[in-house]
Every structure is written in structure tokens, then in C-alpha cells.
Structure 1
């Protein structure tokens, strides 16, 4: 079937809202701040998988999610999309979907992830008090991430809209939790950059940050999720205690033209 380029935000939102937990990032990218950097493709204007090509960062991103039963039509869509793909990009794909890109692309890196969704209220009691961060905290946030989470993707704009919480002791920022996506218009958010300084780990500071951020975002979100590596057992246990449930698995891939 011919490849179709989609431009109707309302129609895209309606399609993604049939499975919002799987499509949190796509729903967030319908916002005005990111829309101009997106290109959306499908094989059917009415139903079926959608592929998003995002060009707003240093590395292009391809997002194409589907439940296991819908992976075969997604593979067909990716095959049709091959002429439009950059030579190197980051991708979020379900297991096996990258087969459609071989032998044209090689996998440089594969990171299996869980998608977790907040399904229960976090516990009322937390061991520390976390505060909302502001742009005044930019330098300290950058310094903490550089020390404790150097591979983090950080968008300073998220400090403006109450998208980060942190715990300080004696003026020193020791832990943060933030968002990669926050769309009050679509009422979705994706948490990210949850980290604690190595000197302060094991004391519940990250738990306090995540709990405070979930409570803050509750007023503007109906679907609040996060991604976590499948081999990060301590983080998975923490998120489960805070009310998150695994709803999907997928792979984050770095792909380059063969």
C-alpha cells in the first residue's frame, strides 16, 4: 500500500488515545512546541500503526510502537519508510520490528526497556521533602546530571513549567526527577532523569523526588508513565512501590546505514 503522510493532529490524537500508555511520547509530540519537528507516516488513514520521525534534536528519532499482534503491519510500514530514513538515527521499536530495516541498517546499540504507567497513588509518607525546581536551578541540575547520570537527555525548558523536583541538603542539590514529555493539552507526561548523587544514594531521595513530581503532575495529566531498563531491578522495584505497573516492553536502538 502507498505510504501516507499524516497532518491532522486531532486524528492522530484520536488514534493514539486507543492505547495511550503505549503512545505517550507521540501524544506529547502533538504539542505546538514540537509539532513543527515531526513527520508522521502510515499505510492507512483510518487505522493501523503510525511511524513518527522527529528531527528536533542532534540525532533524528524514529518512534513506531505497536502491540505484538500488530508488529507484522508495522514491519511493512517500516519497509515502505526506508527511502525517507536518515543514515543514522535513534529508534523506539517493539521486539523484532527492526527486521524490516535489515540489511540496510545495522544496530549499533540495543537497550531493552519497560514502559511503566502510574496506576495507583504513590504512598503518602516519604522520607524527605522534595521541592519544585525552577530555571534558577539550571546550573545545579546540569552539574548533578553530569556527575550521576551523564548519558541523560536534558531539556532545560522543562524547568520552566514545573517539570522537575529536587532534594537539597545544606544548599546542595542531591537528587532530581524530571519529565521528558509533559503535555497538559494531551494530559500526558513521561518521567525521566531520575537520579541521585553517588554520595547520597540509598536514602530514599529519588523516591521523594518522584513522589512529589507525580503529585504535582496529577492536576494536568491522565496518563503518567516512564521508561526503565529491563536490567535495572532496583529502579523497577522503586517504581512498583510508588504505584507504577509495567504495560509494555520495547527496544531503544541506535541504527546506522550499512
Structure 2
């Protein structure tokens, strides 16, 4: 079977809705993005996704078939900054993605989503959306709380939530991305544009263990479900305590991802 490679915008617009119907993770994270290329063979798909000067690939389907599809089409796909592939890719086919893309293996993570309001948590009243004039404090806090965060307060597409204590100190922050509806008629789960994506979550090291992260997650999720119907978030797989916490707040694990980075 020959690989199908699409780059024409009209062809992509006709084909992508069917792709997004196959998987909730793809729908929530990429239906509102600029998909520049689709490479598919049977039930295996690789997307090249562009975003603000960077590019990445996303793979869906059987692990071995995804790796082979990337290897066969690496030249067509071109240079990318990162890859999100099914968990188990590196354990099953060590080194092959790196050889095809030039990317290094990064830690795996899990993707969770929530569509119901969580139980109320103490401290939620201390959480709110931060105004633009307070974003400088966000950058300072992230240097201590989450120095490897890929989300930045300089990104104008993001809003930021924060937790301030009684003295006004900013102790925890998290980015919120409002997802635009590109008009896909997916018929699968929440429409793109209904949901919000959380990222860049960080609590100051001196403030951890006090329930602040739990209060932030509950407050943001309650607001996001009420206003947008759907909230989703990715967390490192080895952060088992966080995954358990989010499950208690009503989140479901829907995908396990092996990440690669430049």
C-alpha cells in the first residue's frame, strides 16, 4: 500500500475531519492548529503541525507502523522541533525515531481531560485570572516553579491563572489556551472551540504541600467546564501523585505520549 501524502489546503480540509474523528487527543489538541501535511497509510497517520515559527509531528496508530511511516517520509516531512508519538515507541523501536528525525528522546507524559465540575477544594477563592500587568510576576515565578515550562507569558494567545496568598504573594500559576473553532464538522466529542488547554503549571517550591496546586486545578477546571465545556492537560508520566490528584478531581487519562525534542 502506497503512502498518501497531502499538503494542499483544500484536500487537508476535506480529509482532516475524518482523522480527528478517530481520536479524542488529536481532536482536542490539533483540530484548531495549522496542519501543514498529512501522511497516512491504512489506519496509521502522521501529521506535521506548524505553530508560531516551529513545527512538530504527531503520530497515531500502531507503534511500528508509525515509526515506519516516519522513516519512509522523513525527507518529505522535513525538519521538526518535536514529535508526539504513542507511548512505547522508544521501548519497542529504540533509536529509530531519533535516526529519522534528529530528535532526542524526552520524558513521556499522559494526557487527561475533564468535562464535569470537580469537588470544591479549600483555597479556590484565592485563584483568579491574572491581568496583563501582572505577567512579569508569572515569568519570575516560573523560573523557580517550572523552569522547563514550554508556555510563556510572552505568548499573547495565553491567559494565566494565579494563586495569591493573604499577603498578595503569587505562589502558583498556570496558562490557559482558548481553542478556536476552525469549523470542522467532526461529530466526535466536544467541538474544537469548546475546550481550554492548561499548560505551564507551577507552584513555588516553598509553597508545595499546602494544597495550593489542588485549589488551582479545581478552580480552573470548574471555570473551564462551566464556560467552555471541556478542559484538558498533559502531565509527565512519572508524576504519579499529580495524576492521582487529577483523577480525584474528575479527570480521565485518555492518551499516553512519548515525546521527542530537538
TM over 0.5: yes
Distance, in Å, in 2 between the alignment partners of 1:103 and 1:150 is: 28
Shift of 1:108: 2.5
Alignment-derived partner of residue 63 in structure 1: 58
Do 1:228 and 1:236's aligned partners in 2 also have CA atoms closer than 8 Å? yes
**Pair 1:201 & 2:208 matched:** yes
SS of alignment partner, residue 64 of structure 1: strand
Checking the alignment, whether the CA contact within 8 Å between 2:55 and 2:82 is kept in structure 1 is yes
1:218 to 221, 225, 235: 225
Q: Label 1:101 to 1:153 Cα distance change in 2 as closer, same or farther (>3 A).
A: closer
Q: In the TM superposition, what are the counterparts of 1:14-53 in structure 2 within 5 Å?
A: 14-29=18-33, 35=34, 38-43=35-40, 48-53=44-49
Q: Structure 2 unaligned segments of length 5 or more: list them.
A: 182-191
**Matches of 2:76 and 2:49, distance apart in 1:** 9
Q: Is 2:122 aligned against 1:118?
A: no
Change (3 A) 1:97 1:158: same
For structure 1, list consecutive stretches of 5 or more residues without a partner in the other structure: 30-34
1:177, 1:206 within 8 Å by CA — same for their partners in 2?
A: no
Whether the 8 Å contact between 2:198 and 2:231 is mirrored in structure 1 is yes
- RMSD between aligned residues: 2.8
- The equivalent residue for 2:85 is 93
Partner of 1:178: 175
Post-superposition CA distance 1:157-215 (Å, at most 9, x none):
66776x32111122221111223x43142123321112111121111111222222222
TM-score of the pair, normalised by structure 2: 0.78
2:16 matched to which residue of 1? Answer: 12
> Matched residues in 2 for 1:92 and 1:9: separation?
22
How many pairs are equivalent? Answer: 241
